[in-house]
Amino acid sequence: MRGVRDADGLLLVATQDEVRRMDALAIAGGWGAAANPAPPMPGRLLMELAGQGAAHLIRERAGGLPGKAVVLCGPGNNGGDGWVVARHLHEAGWVVRCVALGEPREGGDAHVNFALFRALGGEVRIAERGATARMKNWLGHANAIVDALFGTGLGRPLEGAAADLVRAANEVEHGLKIALDLPSGLHADSGEVLGVAFRADLTATFGLAKLGLYLGAGPEHAGEVQRVAIGWSSEVVGAIGAHARLLDERAAARLVPPRPVDGHKGRFGHVAIVGGFPGTEGAAALAARGALRAGAGLVTWSSPEGPEVVERPAEIMRAPFADALPERATTLVVGPGLGLAERAARALALTLADARPQVLDADALNLIARDLRLAELAHSAAPRILTPHPLEAARLLGTTRDAVQADRLGAAARLAAESGAVVILKGRNPIVASPAHAPVLVDLAEPTLAVGGSGDVLAGIAGALLAQGLGPRQAALLGTWLHGQAGIACGLGHAQRGAFASEIADALPPILGRLAAR
């Protein structure tokens, strides 16, 4: 997605309040050098740029051929954007009909664009409660349905004619559905559905992407998200700041560690997987496989001596765990299949006293929740990544899984702040949080990953990237991206189900190759 990026190449994602303040600052002007302050940028110009950009996207998706569009226009500025879209589509040869919740307030920017559309002979109907047969007929015959009802301006449940229009639009099974800025009925910050929300195939978001597009129910209502520039300068964005970041392929590619042609196995790190204790050997084997496939030079699996009950690739070395961690390893991955017994607790204690980079996953996190306080981790000098799923996060924070899911961004940030570690909060659209940086959203909702052992593979990937010299935040970001993309690749051949976690690990090298070649 095109967009404004920070120094690390990550896309900026803003709250409802932040985008309102950016709008206000651009309109007021006066920012910039004292000797040469920026002039005011009229709100009508911002509206024109937004609507023109969205109309271009619609025409592009339609292959440049004119079609039939129905634009649903609200009473405020989001509706004003809709009137601009309607005008540009009309001028491009489309048959355009608009359904309005009412005539915009006279004298405002939205009313100007409403009047311009009417002057072109555009057809407008006022929405009625119950979505009349005429409205449903219009919607049913449209190639494109454009939602310009409320955007980010809604803070209460949709009701009345607006709710009826959204329900009627959602029932249409053909054509392209486009939301302007944010699907109406979706909370701009949390992604919560306010009664009912428009289900878009494409969201044209203005200026910066909004948090609610990636949290809660946002992804399933927003569809594909495309940013439309509306003339905000980098100074305007920088003066207000953005709450979060978004990782995409372009940013992930910047993180791939170099692979010099004269490199050797020792140069690419030695990962020790501490886990896979009797009864859960497969978890450690999968973490080790993920580490190898993500480029670690050497991988050792450390667990108590006993018969091997899972097939272990010949490339994975085995070392007995007897109250000591593998000395030659450069990075530790602790927790997959570790268990909660006394010897598992000893392994965790040794890890927490160790200064080597480490990934704490699964039972390592459960032991911390049971026996320690999260803050005790902050006293360690070891570079560290925690990889909880929502229930493990809840145990660490002393709350419930539902509470974590209701505020995933806040939960991840709190875990990072209290532990001093980088946190990957797993689940749909993972979040990477660290104490000194804005949280990062990873737009990867992939059901193929919902299989036992998938999280163990992620722990191994993160460990391998630490071993190759990346810092914890870099390793967490790239590891999460690689894991998600491997899931997508496996899902294409398995209808998003039935893939083995080992297959997810084995899908990694081509994805790394693609990123490295960017």
Q: Is residue 110 a part of any domain in this protein? A: yes
pLDDT tens-digit map of 104-156 = 999 899 999 999 999 999 999 998 887 677 888 899 999 999 999 998 978 89
Q: Is residue 6 a part of any domain in this protein? A: no
Q: Give 163's Cβ-side CA count (13 Å radius).
A: 9
- Top pLDDT among 310 and 437 is at 437
Tell me: do 70 and 192 sit in the same domain: yes
Section 240-258 average pLDDT: 95
pLDDT tens-digit map of 73-115 = 999 999 999 999 999 999 999 999 999 999 999 989 999 999 9
Tell me: do 238 and 364 sit in the same domain: no
Give 358's strand partners.
332, 384
**Ramachandran angles phi, psi of 200, nearest 5°:** -100, 150
457: left (phi over 0), alpha (psi -120 to 50) or beta: alpha
For β-strands 331-334 and 270-274, DSSP reports them as: parallel
Q: Counting Cβ atoms within 10 Å, is residue 31 exposed (0-12), middle (13-18) or buried (19+)?
A: middle
On the question of pLDDT at 428 being above 90, the answer is no
Q: What is the mean pLDDT of the chain?
A: 93
Tell me: do 133 and 264 sit in the same domain: no
On the question of pLDDT at 307 being above 70, the answer is no
pLDDT band at 1 (very low <50, low <70, confident <90, very high): low
Q: Is residue 15 a part of any domain in this protein? A: yes
Residue ending a domain, choose from 216, 247, 278:
247
Tell me: do 243 and 264 sit in the same domain: no
pLDDT tens-digit map of 54-68 = 999 999 998 888 999
Section 165-194 average pLDDT: 96
Cα separation of 70 and 67, whole Å? Answer: 10
Q: Is residue 252 a part of any domain in this protein? A: no
Asked whether 313 and 297 are in contact (CB, 8 A), the reply is no
The pLDDT score that the predictor gives to residue 221 is: 96
The enclosing H or E element of 450 equals: none
On the question of pLDDT at 309 being above 70, the answer is no
Q: Is residue 417 a part of any domain in this protein? A: yes
pLDDT tens-digit map of 464-513 = 999 999 999 999 999 999 999 999 999 887 778 888 999 999 999 999 99
The pLDDT score that the predictor gives to residue 128 is: 82
CATH of residue 108's domain is: 3.40.50.10260
Q: Is residue 347 a part of any domain in this protein? A: yes
The pLDDT score that the predictor gives to residue 262 is: 80
For β-strands 422-425 and 431-434, DSSP reports them as: antiparallel
The enclosing H or E element of 247 equals: strand 244-247
On the question of pLDDT at 294 being above 80, the answer is yes
Q: DSSP of 190-245, one letter per residue? A: T--B-SS----SEEEEESSEEGGGTSTTHHHHH-EEEEE--S--HHHHHHH--SEE
On the question of pLDDT at 306 being above 70, the answer is no
Cα separation of 364 and 283, whole Å? Answer: 13
Tell me: do 98 and 203 sit in the same domain: yes
Asked whether 210 and 20 are in contact (CB, 8 A), the reply is no
Amino acid identity for residue 446 in this structure: E
Tell me: do 363 and 471 sit in the same domain: yes
Tell me: do 242 and 307 sit in the same domain: no
Q: Is residue 427 a part of any domain in this protein? A: yes
**Ramachandran angles phi, psi of 179, nearest 5°:** -105, 140
CB-based contacts of 348, cutoff 8 Å, min separation 6: 334, 338, 364, 367, 368
The pLDDT score that the predictor gives to residue 2 is: 65
Residue ending a domain, choose from 247, 282, 315:
247
Cα separation of 186 and 253, whole Å? Answer: 32
Tell me: do 114 and 186 sit in the same domain: yes
CATH of residue 386's domain is: 3.40.1190.20
Section 373-388 average pLDDT: 93
pTM: 0.93
Tell me: do 264 and 239 sit in the same domain: no
Query: 294 vs 35, 251, 263, CA distance in Å?
Result: 53, 18, 15
Q: DSSP of 120-168, one letter per residue? A: TT-EEEE--TT--HHHHHHHHT-SEEEEES-GGG--S---HHHHHHHHH
On the question of pLDDT at 308 being above 70, the answer is no
pLDDT band at 450 (very low <50, low <70, confident <90, very high): confident
Amino acid identity for residue 48 in this structure: E
Tell me: do 285 and 184 sit in the same domain: no
Cα separation of 186 and 155, whole Å? Answer: 9
Amino acid identity for residue 425 in this structure: L
pLDDT tens-digit map of 159-175 = 999 999 999 999 999 99
Residue ending a domain, choose from 218, 247, 276:
247
Amino acid identity for residue 103 in this structure: E
Tell me: do 66 and 147 sit in the same domain: yes
Domain count, the chain: 2
182 lies in which domain range? 11-247
Tell me: do 227 and 285 sit in the same domain: no
The pLDDT score that the predictor gives to residue 60 is: 95
Query: 394 vs 22, 75, 345, 403, CA distance in Å?
Result: 35, 42, 20, 8
Q: Is residue 2 a part of any domain in this protein? A: no
Instruction: Provide, rounded to the nearest whole percent, the portion of the chain with pLDDT above 70.
Output: 98
